[in-house]
């Protein structure tokens, strides 16, 4: 197995470090975006549900309620 010098090892590490850091940042950002998206959708669905229940209650109060 060929031996590499410290300078060659440092150069190799530098050359590999930047693409690896970019990949890690991309994956982290994608995961963060997915979590934020899920949270936003969950909150919007809760608001939609509350709005539907509110409209139903308003409609029931205007029509005299359930039979």
Q: What is the pLDDT of residues 15-64, one digit of tens each?
A: 999 999 999 999 999 999 999 999 999 999 999 999 999 999 999 988 88
* Residue 4 CB partners (closer than 8 Å, separation 6+): 12
Q: What local confidence, expressed as pLDDT, does residue 66 receive?
A: 63
Alpha-carbon gap, residue 39 to 47, rounded angstroms: 12
- What is the DSSP track for the chain? -----HHHHHHHHHHHHHHHHHHHHHHHHHHHHHHHHHHHHHHHHHHHHHHHHHHHHHHHHHHTS--
pTM: predicted TM-score of the whole model, two decimal places: 0.57
Contact assessment for residue 66 and residue 60, using Cβ atoms and an 8 Å cutoff: yes
Q: What local confidence, expressed as pLDDT, does residue 67 receive?
A: 55
């Amino acid at each position: 197995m060929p031996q590499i010098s410290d300078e060659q090892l440092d150069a190799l590490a530098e050359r590999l470090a930047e693409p690896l850091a970019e990949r890690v940042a991309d994956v982290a950002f994608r995961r963060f975006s997915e979590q934020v998206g899920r949270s936003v959708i969950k909150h919007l669905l809760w608001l939609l549900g509350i709005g539907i229940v509110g409209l139903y209650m308003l409609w029931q109060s205007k029509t005299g309620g359930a039979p």
